[in-house]
Amino acid sequence: MKNIVLFVVFVLLSFSVRAENGHHLWLRNADPKPVNVVCAKTSPTLALAKQELQKEWTGESGASVSLVIKADKAIRGDGYRISKNAIQANTENGILYGVYDLLRRQQTGEVLNEEICNPSYDRRILNHWDNVDGSIERGYAGLSIFWRKGDNALTVTEADKTLWQEYARANASIGINGSVLNNVNASQLILTNNYLQRVKAIADILRPYGIKAYLSVKFSSPALIGGLKTSDPLNPEVAKWWKDKAIEIHSLVPDFGGFLVKANSEGQPGPQDFGRTHADGANMLADAVKPFGGIVMWRAFVYSASNEDRASQAYHEFMPLDGQFRDNVIIQVKNGPVDFQPREPFSPLFGAMKKTTVMPELQITQEYLGHSIHLAFLAPMWEEFLQSDTYQNGPGSTVACCTDGSIFPQKYSAIAGVANIGLDANWCGHQFAQSNWFAFGRLAWNSSLKSEQIADEWIKMTFGKSNDNKDISAIDWNLNFLAPVKQMMLESREAIVDFMMPLGLHHIFSANGHYGPGPWWAPPRMRKDWTPPYFHQADTLGIGFDRTSTGSNNLSQYQEPLRSELTNLSTCPEVYLLWFHHLPWDYKLKSGRTLWDELCIHYNGGVQKIREFQQIWDQAERYVDHDRFVDVQKRLRDQSLNALEWKDGCVLYFQKFSRKPIPFNLERPIYNLDFLIEKDTKRVGNYQ
């Protein structure tokens, strides 16, 4: 009987934290206290601001908070002046952002003195790669929250409205003010009336939260749905069609933000199909949306099947057009020159285009970082990118400074993140993937934030102590949950780089959705720049992509003194070594070890680090509700197995070229290379 009682007590303690599915994100219901909110003006947005304070206030009971819209030159755009009991802004949206900031600081325990908080970027946008049939390209959290297929695909339900409102609230709480509602590989259907009616319904829900709706458009739409014989941007009928379409959209969505365009890239139509330039196409669209204050975000992700280094092609294609774009055209450039790799140097277009507005494009969804399986906190990667010095305007010309308007004169500034949001109950698939949505918003608002602060905020708001775990002291929670989990998050991206592609290796994935190792994958009739051997260049002499003057000369696109720093082996950061150099297997690194030994050590270290994460999370069980704890625990187990496949597959494959033994102090491979290659082939086929 005694044992039964003890077992029941153990079970009750195990489930002492109320079950959660993660749907509330970092906006979990608080235990609010009374507050008096004073605001002289009224509007839907101000009503939301007052409502949020009244629902979530955890400051001094009975306190009064004033919300004041008053012109102040020190406050820029939708920025705000914030203090313990007052928020002042130039705009209603600024008031709302200030309210969420005040509530965040209460929840995280941050000391608040009066300060002005201005956004780093004017337009802080989520790019949804959602298709009109409800699927999501590179989506790992279920189907689209905006679109679905079936007979009632375009019917707007109350459930739709509730979900969109929750989505809008989450975005506004971190300062995101724009959403591109559909995939850059756009369907022409999005511009037809039936779909635009649904766009209107979505935009009506987003508007009070300060969020503008944008659309990705297919460049050939005039011919596909407009009845025209061409989509040539210099054809007057085509230009008129787009102007009429912009008028139609604006009549439905008066605050429509503009267009996002993927053109002449990966088979998508564009102005080059008609012998025109990117500037010709972008400017034609920019003229159509300009009367309504709209912008055109024109993606620079272009590369052709040529012998030129894929990392160099966007620079060569866009630099000759610098200064030819309208002032409401923004060139959207991926953070790195290849494709959202776990680690890349910044694209050389940042800072080089001095007469054209350029915006960073980050990828929140984990296309190359383990989908919704791997725990990967991406703020350190984005911080590394934003603070990289381009030297384009002398020392201190960071990517952030080159894109936020502080160095080059520009009418707009913007930053975009490819969303990781879907219909899963927790929105993002992995509970910790929510932190990347949060981190993007925080960095878009303040590009100088440190990853440690962002992680600290997110953990406190997402897993913070509640009334359900009163037996756990604040000291206990901070020491045994907050500190180790935060360290795990901060180390997670580097651990993935280590077990996937250390020392500058890149794009050596299996073709199976960019998941799992595939350095061997090279079907005979496949384009070489779509295969891993093109990128790792492993042979008996060494490994790495030579991008110096003796190779592709991609380094010539970077400004001095960075160019010389990266060219010189003694000064090139080792994290980019094999990105820029093809080196012998016995090349000595700063550690004194050979390149081969160092590669093996990194691969092994990545595996060991994921196992450490498992231990950290297993010890967190008493601090987390059961459902979320088990969900993360299972994914970490899967990640640990994935890491082992990466280590064994890459080390054994590269060993065929190095012909050197794996250092004997490291864990031995448990997989056979033939087994991993066969497993990969069965998943993806030969793609002959």
Annotate 187-219 with DSSP letters as a single string. Answer: -GGGGSHHHHHHHHHHHHHHGGGT-EEEEEE-T
CA 354 to chain centre: 25
What's residue 12's pLDDT?
Answer: 40
What's residue 685's pLDDT?
Answer: 55
CA torsion angle 367 370 374 380 (round to 10): -60
The answer to whether residues 579 and 345 touch, using CB atoms and an 8 Å cutoff, is yes
The answer to whether residues 509 and 627 touch, using CB atoms and an 8 Å cutoff, is no
pLDDT at 186 over 60: yes
What mean pLDDT comes out for the span 593-615? 98
Using DSSP's 3-state secondary structure scheme, residue 608 falls into helix
pLDDT at 165 over 60: yes
**Candidates 367, 383, 424, 457; catalytic one:** 367
Share of the chain above pLDDT 90, in %: 92
- pLDDT confidence band for 5 (50 / 70 / 90): very low
The kind and range of the H/E element at 416 are strand 414-418
Tokens of 344: 């890349």
Q: CA 472 to CA 465: how far, in whole Å?
A: 8
**Candidates 56, 339, 389, 457; catalytic one:** 339
Put residue 158 in one of left, alpha, beta given phi > 0 → left and psi -120 to 50 → alpha. alpha
pLDDT at 370 over 80: yes
Put residue 427 in one of left, alpha, beta given phi > 0 → left and psi -120 to 50 → alpha. left
Give 119-147 pLDDT, tens digit per residue: 999 999 999 999 999 999 999 999 999 99
Give 223-264 pLDDT, tens digit per residue: 999 999 999 999 999 999 999 999 999 999 999 999 999 999
Amino acid at 516: G
Say whether 367 is catalytic.
Answer: yes
Contacts of 27 (CB under 8 A, 6+ apart): 169, 170, 173, 461
Pick the CATH number of 35-117 from 3.30.70.360, 3.30.379.10, 1.10.10.10, 2.70.180.20: 3.30.379.10
Contacts of 228 (CB under 8 A, 6+ apart): 222, 235, 237, 238, 241
Over the chain, what is the mean pLDDT? 95
What's residue 327's pLDDT?
Answer: 97
**CB burial readout 431-468, b (16+ within 10 A) else e:** bbbbbbbbbbbbbbbbbebebeebbbbbbbbbbbbbee
What's residue 17's pLDDT?
Answer: 54
Q: Is 68 exposed, middle or buried (0-12, 13-18, 19+ CB in 10 A)?
A: middle
What mean pLDDT comes out for the span 525-536? 93
Q: CA 384 to CA 63: how far, in whole Å?
A: 41
What's residue 511's pLDDT?
Answer: 81
Say whether 266 is catalytic.
Answer: yes
Share of the chain above pLDDT 70, in %: 96
Q: Where are the alpha helices (DSSP H) in 501-594?
A: 532-536, 562-567, 577-580
CATH code of 496-545+582-684, in short, is 3.90.1330.10
For helices 434-445 and 451-463, the axis angle rounded to 10 degrees is 130
Domain segments of the chain: what residues?
35-117, 123-449, 496-545+582-684
Contacts of 392 (CB under 8 A, 6+ apart): 350, 351, 352, 354, 402, 407, 559
CB neighbourhood size of 165 (10 A): 15
Using DSSP's 3-state secondary structure scheme, residue 166 falls into helix
Using DSSP's 3-state secondary structure scheme, residue 271 falls into helix
DSSP lists the bridge partners of residue 240 as: none
**Candidates 248, 266, 621, 638; catalytic one:** 266
Give 448-506 pLDDT, tens digit per residue: 999 999 999 999 999 996 656 668 999 999 999 999 999 999 999 999 999 999 999 99
pTM, rounded to two decimals:
0.96
What mean pLDDT comes out for the span 42-62? 96
Give the lowest-confidence range in 4-13, 61-70, 434-443, 590-599: 4-13
The answer to whether residues 281 and 268 touch, using CB atoms and an 8 Å cutoff, is no
Domain 123-449 sits in which CATH superfamily?
Glycosidases (3.20.20.80)
Q: Where are the alpha helices (DSSP H) in 501-583?
A: 532-536, 562-567, 577-580
Residue 113 vs residue 683, higher pLDDT: 113
- pLDDT confidence band for 18 (50 / 70 / 90): low
- pLDDT confidence band for 13 (50 / 70 / 90): very low
The answer to whether residues 119 and 175 touch, using CB atoms and an 8 Å cutoff, is yes
What's residue 30's pLDDT?
Answer: 76
What mean pLDDT comes out for the span 438-444? 98
Tokens of 426: 């927790």
What mean pLDDT comes out for the span 207-229? 98
Q: Is 62 exposed, middle or buried (0-12, 13-18, 19+ CB in 10 A)?
A: exposed
